Structure 1
Amino acid sequence: MWSCLGGMAWFSVGKSLLGCRGAAQRAGTLTMSACSSASSGRQHVNGVDLFYEQTGRGKHAVLLLPGALGSTRTDFGPQLRSLNKESFTVVGWDPRGYGRSRPPHRDFPPDFFERDAKDAVDLMKALGFHKFSLLGWSDGGITALIAAAKNPDLIHKMVVWGSNAFVSQEDLRLYNMVRDVSKWSARMRQPMEEVYGAHLFAKTWEGWVDAIAQFAQRPEGSICMELLPLISCPTLIIHGEKDPMVPSFHAQHLLKHIKGSRLHVMPEGKHNLHLRYADEFNRLVEDFLEE
């Protein structure tokens, strides 16, 4: 749906991947599945306990980065379930203050994207991955851009979609349209209210809108524009041509400023293209990562 708020899972709530669970210990509290190579747990990173899910047994590690207020379960069910488990080891995580990485409650200091990027990279290192690829949706895409720019030796490849490196006046208008969650349909609110409760969801969402709007006050509205030339990993940008909340100029800007990047446009794709067209998206990503 809209830029940076990829976590809005009214589109699709990722189904539980970890049926027939058995208990084991690894990297903190961990649940291992007896019937698959799936696990979940909490890892202490940078002063907080970050929830993660891991599936697959491939040599190529991939980190999934969710959108605003998002989590592995709400944002990446089809990817955790269906990405090739022989080729990839796929890790989904809940950024601090989101989903099951609570406490603490989410806050939005000026550097919250940089904080998420550091948490994401340090989580993967704590889990024993020394080189890995990034799949970032919306806010998670912004986090991935920052992580790739600041850790060129660690990031193998990157895929981002529904993401932006700056906030324009048009973006501000779109964010303000969705600020008041009481005006959303019950169907749209339900998944997030199930995770956070109605009051905390509304409060956290308003906090996000205020935080993202502040970038518009920076020169050129930059979130991470100055970092794009530092990205050296192969990068695939995916854009849904019918995305109602991420204008195509954002994808074009990334393409222009990330050296060697490529852009794939999905004509029917909206903001949730990886959920709505999961099979097509997963094939596209697998082909890119395996090149």
Structure 2
Amino acid sequence: MSTQFETAPNRYVAARDGVKYAYRKLGVPGGTPLVLLQHFTGHMDSWDPAVVNGLARHRTVVIFDNAGIGVSSGRTPDSVEQMAIDAESFIGALELGEVDLLGFSLGGFVAQLMAARGKVPVRRMVSAGSAPQGGEEHLLQVVSAAFATNAQDVRLPLFFTPSEKSQAAGRAFLARATARTKDRDAESGEAIRNAQANAIIAWCADETAEHAVLKRIGQPTLIVHGSKDTMFPVTNAYSMFEQMSDATLIVYPDSAHGAIFQYSETFTSHVETFLSA
């Protein structure tokens, strides 16, 4: 199972909820599998191969398309709660048992809720570029501004800062992200964008819980954020760190929403150290 991200075959599992989930599994057998939860409109091929392959050097890594995303069946939820329920259904169908979670951006929302709900056994959690319930978000403004730049790829202004160093890292990420040529997921359409945008906005607009989700998370958590993230400002990471009972916070310099792609080697090293502790 030491296949690389670029060649890992698409697999499918049917869950009790009637959804046929697409997934890829790679890395080293044994130990606690690490399940990756994706960002806004993202699918399996939105992951950085350097990140996935780096994480898979010492453990089993599972990436998947949640319900209604990529080549999975079902309907795209418009709430974080339903996304968590669907992810739990996938993990149950694959009979993974106890898992570690890595949630990026919107996937971090889902990971938080899954850890708090306790429907599947979560050992440790990594939250990258994310925000707590009631957190600060500028999703629509940042996405609109990124498209207005007419950049060669919208991910350059969306995920990276304007500095030459960050943009160079962004171009390197784009080159890696196109390395896989077989069985790639199709890009997400308007229906997916609208549903997930509604979920993000509703999650961050809900300030009534007073960090109830975070306070229910007892698992050790690694929080990673970009210092100049405009979509979910770094204040979200500090807020999560303050409210959680067992959290470690790392902020990467001169980095935006795609900090984990800009610092792919550093990030995978930090995650490996954390998960192996």
- Normalising by the smaller structure, the TM-score range is 0.7 to 0.9
- Is the strand fraction higher in 1 or 2? 1
Shift of 1:201: 2.2
Hey, what does 1:139 align to over in structure 2? Answer: 106
Aligned-partner residue type, residue 178 of structure 1: V
Unaligned runs of 5+ in 2: 157-173, 175-183
Aligned-partner residue type, residue 187 of structure 1: D
Assess, with a 3 A threshold, how the Cα gap between structure 1 residues 232 and 92 changes in structure 2: closer, same or farther: same
Hey, what does 2:42 align to over in structure 1? Answer: 70
How many residues of Structure 1 are paired with residues of Structure 2 in the alignment? 245
Hey, what does 2:143 align to over in structure 1? Answer: 178
Could you report, residue by residue, the CA deviation over 1:231-275 in whole angstroms, capped at 9, with x for unpaired residues? Answer: 111101011112222212211111111102111111133211221
Assess, with a 3 A threshold, how the Cα gap between structure 1 residues 135 and 215 changes in structure 2: closer, same or farther: closer
Shift of 1:72: 2.0
How many angstroms apart in 1 are the aligned matches of 2:54 and 2:104? 17
1:276 aligns with 2:242: no
Could you report, residue by residue, the CA deviation over 1:100-130 in whole angstroms, capped at 9, with x for unpaired residues? Answer: 21x335241xxx2122212222322322211
Assess, with a 3 A threshold, how the Cα gap between structure 1 residues 164 and 216 changes in structure 2: closer, same or farther: closer
Shift of 1:65: 0.6
Hey, what does 1:95 align to over in structure 2? Answer: 66
Assess, with a 3 A threshold, how the Cα gap between structure 1 residues 39 and 207 changes in structure 2: closer, same or farther: closer
TM-score, structure 1 length as denominator?
Answer: 0.74
Assess, with a 3 A threshold, how the Cα gap between structure 1 residues 184 and 208 changes in structure 2: closer, same or farther: farther
Hey, what does 1:118 align to over in structure 2? Answer: 85
- The CA RMSD measured in Å over matched residues stands at 2.9
Decide whether the 8 Å contact of 1:67 with 1:75 is kept in 2. Answer: no
Hey, what does 2:228 align to over in structure 1? Answer: 242
Decide whether the 8 Å contact of 1:167 with 1:213 is kept in 2. Answer: no
- 2:200 is aligned, of 212, 225, 237, to 212
Shift of 1:161: 1.1
Aligned-partner residue type, residue 274 of structure 2: F
Shift of 1:286: 0.3
Decide whether the 8 Å contact of 1:64 with 1:72 is kept in 2. Answer: no
Assess, with a 3 A threshold, how the Cα gap between structure 1 residues 154 and 215 changes in structure 2: closer, same or farther: closer
Shift of 1:279: 0.7
Determine what percentage of the aligned residue pairs are the same residue: 27
1:227 aligns with 2:213: yes
TM-score, structure 2 length as denominator?
Answer: 0.77
Hey, what does 2:131 align to over in structure 1? Answer: 164
How many angstroms apart in 1 are the aligned matches of 2:228 and 2:62? 29
SS at match of 2:74: coil
